[in-house]
Amino acid sequence: MAQIFHHSTNTIARVSIYGAVLLLLLLGYTVDVVNNSSYVTEVHNARPQPVPFSHKHHVGELGLDCRYCHASVEVSSSAGMPPTQTCMTCHSQIWTGAAMLEPVRASYRDSVPISWTRVNAVPDFVYFNHSIHVAKGVGCTTCHGPIAEMNITWRQESLYMRWCLECHNAPENYLRPRSEVFNSFYRAPKNQQELGLRLMKEYKVQKLTNCTTCHR
Amino acid sequence: MATENKNGGRPDVDIATLRHSAREGNTPRFWRGLDELAGTPEFRDHAENEFPHGANDPNATLDRRELLKVMAASAAFAGLTGCTKLPTQTIVPYVREPEQIIPGKPLFYATAVTLGGVATGVLVESHMSRPTKVEGNPDHPGSLGASDSFAQASILGLYDPDRSRAEVHDGRIGSWPEFQTELTAALAAAKITGGSGLRLLTQTITSASLAAQIRKFLKAFPSAKWHQYESVGRDNVREGARIAFGEYVNAVYRLNRVEVVLTLDSDFLTSGPGSVRYAREFAAKRRVDGAESIMNRLYAVECTPTNTGAMADHRLRMRASEIESFARALAREIGVSAAAGPGSSSSAPAEWIAAVARDLKQHAGASLIVAGDQQPPVVHALAHAINQKLGNFDKTVYFTQPIEESPIHQWESMGELAADIRAGKVTTILILGGNPAYDAPVDLGLRELLPKVKFSARLGMHEDETSVLCHWHIPQAHSLESWGDARAYDGTITVMQPLIAPLYEGKSEHDFLAALNGQAEKPSHDIVREFWLAQKTGIPRFDAFWEKTLRDGVMAGTAFPAKQVSLKLGIGEQPPAARPQGLEIVFRPDPTIWDGRFANNGWLQELPKPLTKLTWDNVAMLSPKMAQRLGLKSEDAIELKYEGRTIVAPAWVMPGHADESVTVFLGYGRTRAGNVGSSAGFDAGWIRPYATPWIGAGLEIRKTHQKWALAATQTHNSMEGRDLVRVATLDEYHKNPKFAQADVVKNPLSLYPEVKYEGYSWGMAVDLNACTGCGSCVVACQAENNIAVVGKKEVMIGREMHWIRIDRYFEGDLDDPKTYHEPVVCMHCEDAPCEVVCPVMATVHSPEGLNEMIYNRCVGTRYCSNNCPYKVRRFNFRLYSDWDTPSLFGMRNPNVSVRSRGVMEKCSYCVQRINAVKIEAEKQDRSVRDGEIVTACQQSCPSEAIVFGNINDPNSRVSKMKAKNLNYSLLEELNTRPRTTYQARLRNPNPEIEKAAAV
Amino acid sequence: MADSPTDKLAQHSLAVPIIGPGHDYASVTDKISHIVLSRKPPKWWILGFAAAFALVMLLLYSITYLFAVGVGIWGIQIPVGWGFAIINFVWWIGIGHAGTLISAILLLLRQQWRTSINRFAEAMTLFAVACAGIFPLIHMGRPWLAYWLFPYPDTMKMWPNFRSPLVWDAFAVSTYATVSALFWFIGLLPDLATLRDRSKNRAAKIIYGFLAMGWRGSAVHWYRHETASLLLAGLATPLVLSVHTIVSLDFAFSIVPGWHATIFPPYFVAGAIYAGFAMVLTLSIPVRKLFGLEDFITMRHLDNMGKVMLAAGLIVGYGYMMEAFSAYYSGNPYERFMIMNRMGGPYAAVYWFLVACNIVTPQFLWSRKVRANVGALFTIAMVVNVGMWLERFIIVVTSLHRDFLPSSWGMYYPTRWDFATFFGTIGLFVALLFLFIRFLPLISIFEMRALVNEEDKKAAD
């Protein structure tokens, strides 16, 4: 009787069997890649803003202190976003005519707030507190990246829990002296390890990894 | 058992369904009663569904959100990454930042909430100018930092989505200016006659500034009349005082000086002016530390079981109408001349009275008789007489001028008003607050009379039963939205300041009267401030004084001074009228809904009534004996016939209730309360005639052979011989101080190494000797932790969400048992059974000994709950949290996740508060001070029954409590090593009576 | 395994033949393969399948609704956090066991009588596990996160809690499913080839050919096939014990009175075998009738299975007894109360009905007459199926509904959705079986051939 299957079927069968295994592995890998891609994490995606505010200019070139705008960073969970008022303290004097700043002036004029696009966000079930991190010697740029070089602000880190734990498990690798916290040009010293360990003692830094530290 | 019965044919409405339907806009803007609402498909599903435990639930409808969830789910299935990508959010900063406000930091404002005009001082937590939580004001004499459940729930009253949002003119939307023009016209017309035909109806008013406005108005209209009415008023108290002293006075108790209390049908520990303070002072006198310490003693003579009765060392159950006889008998024992009471006071054994009298006499000057608001005036008068005879005046009780601005007999005042309307004398009526159409004495026929009035206007929070009968309805501002002032139980004044601009352009009573006085444009702030400016002329720097008053929440030195009173002679000497025969009916305010004003408050509806543990319904309460006689069981629908009116009510067999007497609770059967309260329960007011506001005789009961399914959160009342609540008498305690720790396992064997807790380790101690079971903690917890309301059906299945529950056990004689309250929160076991079984580590232990529950990690296997011996875990079987009603968003505590469907939740020891305090302490480089962290339940507890703190610090209050002999932990033998422990309950019985009972 | 029922079987006299007389290779092959290759399915098949399929639709509907609304549509609450879902899960898993037992353990023990029933016993196992597998997933509050039960490197740096029996369960059940599937398929290969060669139409040839994976029946093939089967049998054998042991640990691991018992693992395994054989009987009796396979599934098989059931039933009965005894003997008030509550509480009726089903009824199996009476056997098997379900109901519900604090006692009432899901899975099970008997040889052809061979030898001697 006639052959049902062509000879090649054997090969096809083998290939598909081994292929299936490979395919599964590949799938897992892809998921991981996608999860860590900037598509999902938004890392390094400069977000368009109503006003093209440049940290590079204000922080990097003019050397404004972070706290000038993010005023509540030392006292509250939220670092605080500057009210239009804050922008106008300077921009009622300089660049008063700049078209780029029209939205700011408009906002001030008509008392309509500017709605910025959020760059760094954690899910609602995560309760992050800026003030305590700052108080314990975690620098702004440790999480927010080289802010002084960002023309349009982007997210530097994935903000995944995995990432948070890197520091919560080993703070010594990231801590800096309190005096340097708001220094946007800070570079970790060679002896970060020992410095970190010293600061941990000095600032009574704990390795808080229990869940309710962040989730409530 | 509640869950066993099907719903008694009566369509019961589920908040969420109706919320939902209202939300979806398939509800008429002004729906008339539920029949109309019933048009919604959800509701029909309810009505038709023959499976009460089936899927007839609000969330059963597959709406857009649900679909999205399913899609999200499938996405997650597909990519394992469904929820990691966050949606793009925006940040909207201020244009000009207001002072004080720091994003992420709450502010607290001092103000007051009132009930029956009496103020309880509170501090209101405000996040970015959204009030989120009410807490007691430590500086306020009526609060001392605690508060009752009504105060706790007022925050939900503020955000209630059913509040009326617009002026309504004869069923159509009107406007404030439009109303003003009509009003001015009406007033101009009235002017001619000097305002005869002009009537002003308010509730009890203790606000001096408001009263001043009213008087101004009355000056302008000399022949106008001002009526005051509360269906749960204190007329008897006032009249009692008048009989005793010939004038209205306000009695203030000093329980911190009382050794022996006798209550005559009074629930002074959990209701009435000053109850919050009284509870604390009473509890303080019951705390025992050393082996030789003593306790106060409480005798309760009552008909309807109350929390006070449950606390009593001796409780004598007695028909409410017999208590007068008791009072007279006691008076005579004490040496006050009084005619013998009507009928035989058989249920009051002579030796009992004698023993009590002896005890009282022994503690002359340190004893107190408290008569209940529902008892007739003469009982109050007798109480005063006895107190005076015992030399308690100015020691345990003192008198002040009334705190009401114009104390009157409100019941008669309402009768007069009704008569005037019937006689056609009333052309214009202005109703401020209250809800007379619902709660006025039924036979006055106000519902028929109101529409007869030519011009009627009503200021109210809801467009309710009264509003629809008036030509005008004006939305009223919530007390947290408006300026005002009110007096505490002792006369102390609190100036109430708004926390938020009126959500729905509501008008406060001050605004309304300003309009009446032709000052419509004058902001109520100015009215109040200017009034007090005028009062306090003596004060040099009024601004500073005003600032301080607002900041402190009390106006310094405004407590009324003690007032000399002279007791009239021969009180109660004239023999009382013969007691009418027949079955007794007793009307009482509902423990959680009061007179119905809180009917639309989901928190209070779902707050289990302290002694029945019922939610969402009121009942006709009767004693086991009587039930047996009539062949009734709980949840039988029975027909009550009184004074020619009948109503169907669910029977409830209540151990400890007096025989041959039925108690019905007011406040239910509202027809226009809102989506939450309408059609819950039955309207006891329907059989409450003018003649007998509280206690009547001649009730007829008929069995209907129908069931009325009730939702009780606790269906089993016996401890089954398990020592869950450990009790001893004071003597037994003196003999064996360690009785509560009889079965303590010294060093239990374990294969695991002992876990050491360095630094902080949090623990809680609950004093069963102090807990009155009032339920304030339950509501406080609900407010603090964004706990959802689930509705009657879900409670019936057994799915209530409260993180703290108050277990109530009966012990002993079925007819007259001892009652114990036991608050149960998560025990935060050191060896927690829930933790090992969770497959995803969604519940784990913290280094500080907290048993943490991580909602966002929970997959919902519910094994933790099965394995929790204390059953304190609560599961979101459906989407209980309201994610759709915008007005509720503002209410939520931003520091606690709002749980979604399918996750477990439970008491966290208010970890958000712990963390907040710890962070502040860390920043100041110090450690947390004792008492700095206060959990919501602890904060609200009037009797300070709950103490929380660091058990590693031997000097912390909680450590000291746990060090006491009375300390024991629940289900110790399981070796779960709970962090929450209990202080055993102590009773201080009178040896004489105890012996008599033994014989 | 010393006192396991299988040994008793080993000593069974070969009086009754395990294959009807007068069968040769051809007749066996014809008879069995005919069922599959006949053009039109019989009327009863169409009707039966239609009914089952309707139930499957019901299952899909109720699961969709469940995912949309949440587990709240079921009767579960606090304190009874587990209801029908877990009951059904344990019941189905139990049923699965007989298949593996017959195919693996009896194979290793060289019990030839197993041959004619092992194929669809295995199929039954597979389908039962499929039904069981549904429940742990859908009973979760958030089923779309079920994958969190498996360890994988995630963005949260979190691992499952390896201390939790539920995690062990996830592994146990998935392993069980995989091995059973493989075992079954390997067993099928030669017969698939037979069908490929005998089927007339091209489509069938291609499909069976594809599934046969190029089986040519060469000596090498047979050799490898033999080894593979033995290896898998070796793998599957411990599973018979492990899976239900783990399932029992889901309960025994807790502190709930009525769950917290050391006897659970053996007691559950015995129960599983009990239920499994009951189900095999329930299936094989109608099947042999409908397809006239009395010659292949002979009275000898039914008789043996009856005996196994009896033995298993006795162990289960002993389990019940010990539960009560240890509760009494422990002196633990909660344990004692639990038993009293089972026997006298609100669910007492269920408990006594279960005792009647699982302990009283099987006693009839002592009598050879009953075992020889197909009708009686079928009835008893049915009763036991019901009884075993009730047992799980009692274990899950009565233990939970009244535990430590009387204040939080409650009652559990299933809703229509509980029933819909349950009957839905029964439908799924039946539907799969119908497809199986229609499209695959429900008795292993090649093994039967082997039997013929041996029977002939015997005849020769």
DSSP letter for each residue of B526-588: HHHHHHHHHHTTT-S-HHHHHHHHHHHSS-TT-SPPP----PPTTTTTSPPPPPPPS-EEEEE
Residue C21 — very low, low, confident or very high, per pLDDT cuts 50/70/90? Answer: low
Residue closest to C95 by CA, chosen among C438, C440, C391: C391
Per the CB < 8 Å rule, is A162 touching C154?
yes
Q: In the complex, which subunits touch A with 3 or more CB pairs below 8 angstroms?
A: B, C
Where do the H-state alpha helices sit in C199-218?
A: 202-212
Question: Tokens 């049915």 map to which residue?
Answer: C382
Give the 3-state DSSP-derived string for C114-146, with helices as H, strands as E and coil as C: HHHHHHHHHHHHHHHHHHHHHHHHHCCCCHHHH
Residue B825 φ/ψ, nearest 5 degrees: -110, 180
Per the CB < 8 Å rule, is B103 touching A78?
yes
Q: Are B609 and B2 in contact (CB under 8 A)?
A: no
Q: Are B8 and B708 in contact (CB under 8 A)?
A: yes
Smallest CA–CA separation between B854 and chain A, in Å? 6
Amino acid at B937: C
> How many Å is the Cα radius of gyration of chain B?
28
Could you give the C-alpha distances from C121 to B17, C111, C212, C286, in angstroms and in order? 49, 15, 21, 14
Residues with Cβ < 8 Å from A133, sequence gap 6 or more?
A: none
Q: What is the pLDDT of residue C296?
A: 80
CA atoms of B152 and B941, how far apart (whole Å) = 11
Per the CB < 8 Å rule, is A34 touching B79?
yes
Could you give the ipTM of this predicted complex? 0.91
CA angle C136, A26, A14 (to 5 degrees): 95
Q: What is the pLDDT of residue B8?
A: 35
Chain C residues in contact with B76 by the CB 8 A cut-off are: 144-145
Per the CB < 8 Å rule, is B93 touching A84?
yes
Chain B residues in contact with A72 by the CB 8 A cut-off are: 102-105
Could you tell me whether strands B297-302 and B314-317 are parallel, antiparallel, or unpaired per DSSP bridges?
parallel
CA atoms of B526 and B682, how far apart (whole Å) = 43
Q: What is the pLDDT of residue B480?
A: 93
Q: In the complex, which subunits touch B with 3 or more CB pairs below 8 angstroms?
A: A, C
Predicted confidence (pLDDT) at residue C397 exceeds the cutoff of 90:
yes
Per the CB < 8 Å rule, is C256 touching B867?
yes
Per the CB < 8 Å rule, is A83 touching B95?
yes
Q: What is the pLDDT of residue C294?
A: 80
Token pair recorded at residue B680: 């819950």
Strand, coil or helix: what is B651?
strand
Given A4, A36, A161, which is nearest C156 (Cβ)? A161
Q: What is the pLDDT of residue C364?
A: 93
Residue bearing the bigger pLDDT, C425 or B128:
C425
Per the CB < 8 Å rule, is C157 touching A35?
no
- Mean pLDDT of each 10-residue bin along chain B, 999 residues long: 35 39 34 33 36 34 46 42 65 84 89 93 92 94 94 94 92 92 90 89 94 93 93 93 93 94 94 94 88 87 94 92 90 84 64 92 93 93 93 94 94 94 92 93 92 93 93 94 94 93 91 90 91 88 92 92 88 77 92 94 95 94 94 94 94 94 94 90 94 92 93 91 91 89 71 86 95 95 95 94 95 91 95 94 93 94 95 94 87 92 94 95 93 95 95 94 92 90 93 76
Could you give the C-alpha distances from B295 to B287, B290, B726, B881, B968, in angstroms and in order? 7, 11, 17, 44, 20
Strand, coil or helix: what is A57?
helix
Residue closest to C232 by CA, chosen among C107, C120, C110, C96: C107
Per the CB < 8 Å rule, is B93 touching A124?
no
Q: Are B93 and A114 in contact (CB under 8 A)?
A: yes
CA atoms of B985 and B829, how far apart (whole Å) = 22
Token pair recorded at residue B846: 């913290």
CA atoms of B108 and B124, how far apart (whole Å) = 5
CA atoms of C441 and B943, how far apart (whole Å) = 77
Q: Is C301 part of the contact surface with chain A (CB cutoff 8 Å)?
A: no
3-state helix, strand, coil in chain B (%, to 5): 30, 20, 50
Token pair recorded at residue B493: 């004044």
Q: Is C214 part of the contact surface with chain A (CB cutoff 8 Å)?
A: yes
Chain C residues in contact with A158 by the CB 8 A cut-off are: 155
Chain C residues in contact with B824 by the CB 8 A cut-off are: 405, 407
pLDDT (tens digit, 9 = 90+) per residue, A12-28?
Answer: 888 998 999 999 999 98
Could you give the C-alpha distances from B736 to A202, A216, B729, in angstroms and in order? 51, 43, 10
Smallest CA–CA separation between B841 and chain A, in Å? 10
Smallest CA–CA separation between B834 and chain A, in Å? 16
Q: What is the pLDDT of residue A7?
A: 82
Could you tell me whether strands B904-905 and B472-475 are parallel, antiparallel, or unpaired per DSSP bridges?
unpaired
Per the CB < 8 Å rule, is A115 touching B91?
yes
- Give the C window 348-387 contacts with A, CB below 8 Å: none
Q: What is the pLDDT of residue B81?
A: 39
CA atoms of B784 and B127, how far apart (whole Å) = 13
Residue C230 — very low, low, confident or very high, per pLDDT cuts 50/70/90? Answer: confident
Q: What is the pLDDT of residue B984?
A: 93
- Give the A window 149-168 contacts with C, CB below 8 Å: 158, 160-162, 165
Residue closest to B271 by CA, chosen among B368, B374, B369, B202: B374
CA atoms of C341 and C323, how far apart (whole Å) = 13
Best mutation target, C140, C145, C398, to test chain B (most B CBs within 10 A): C145
Nearest residue in chain A measured CA to CA from B106:
A76
CA B535, B540, B543, B546: dihedral to nearest 10 degrees?
A: -50
Q: Where are the beta strands (DSSP E) in B345-462?
A: 367-371, 397-400, 428-432, 455-460
Q: Is C39 part of the contact surface with chain A (CB cutoff 8 Å)?
A: no
Residue C457 — very low, low, confident or very high, per pLDDT cuts 50/70/90? Answer: low
Nearest residue in chain B measured CA to CA from C259:
B867
Best mutation target, A6, A162, A163, A167, to test chain C (most C CBs within 10 A): A162
CA atoms of C69 and C57, how far apart (whole Å) = 18
Residues with Cβ < 8 Å from C392, sequence gap 6 or more?
A: C86, C87, C88, C90, C91
Q: Which own/partner pairs from A163-171 qualify as long-range (CB within 8 Å, at least 24 positions apart)?
A: A164/A214, A165/A209, A165/C157, A167/A138, A167/A142, A168/A207, A168/A208, A168/A209, A168/A213, A169/A207, A169/A209, A170/A207, A171/A136, A171/A138, A171/A196, A171/A200, A171/A205, A171/A207
Regions in chain A scoring below 70 on pLDDT: 1-2
pLDDT (tens digit, 9 = 90+) per residue, A80-126?
Answer: 899 999 999 999 898 888 888 999 999 999 989 998 999 998 888 99
> How many Å is the Cα radius of gyration of chain A?
25
Per the CB < 8 Å rule, is B837 touching C254?
yes
Taking one residue from A and the other from C, the number of pairs with CB-CB distance under 8 angstroms is 29
Q: Which own/partner pairs from B152-155 qualify as long-range (CB within 8 Å, at least 24 positions apart)?
A: B152/B603, B152/B776, B152/B779, B152/B780, B152/B783, B152/B940, B153/B598, B153/B601, B153/B603, B153/B604, B153/B607, B153/B779, B153/B783, B154/B113, B154/B478, B154/B479, B154/B480, B155/B124, B155/B131, B155/B480, B155/B783, B155/B891
Q: What is the pLDDT of residue B342?
A: 62
Per the CB < 8 Å rule, is A4 touching C158?
no
Q: In the complex, which subunits touch C with 3 or more CB pairs below 8 angstroms?
A: A, B
Given C154, C157, C209, which is nearest A5 (Cβ)? C209
Q: What is the pLDDT of residue B950?
A: 95
| Count, residues in chain B | 999
Where do the H-state alpha helices sit in B172-234?
A: 176-192, 208-220
Question: Tokens 């103000």 map to which residue?
Answer: B111
Q: Where are the beta strands (DSSP E) in B249-303?
A: 250-253, 260-264, 297-302
- Give the B window 808-837 contacts with C, CB below 8 Å: 808-809, 822, 824, 833, 836-837
Residues with Cβ < 8 Å from B38, sequence gap 6 or more?
A: B11, B44, B47
- Give the C window 401-420 contacts with B, CB below 8 Å: 402-411, 413, 415-417
Q: Are C344 and C42 in contact (CB under 8 A)?
A: no
Q: How many CB atoms lie within 10 A of CB B494?
A: 34
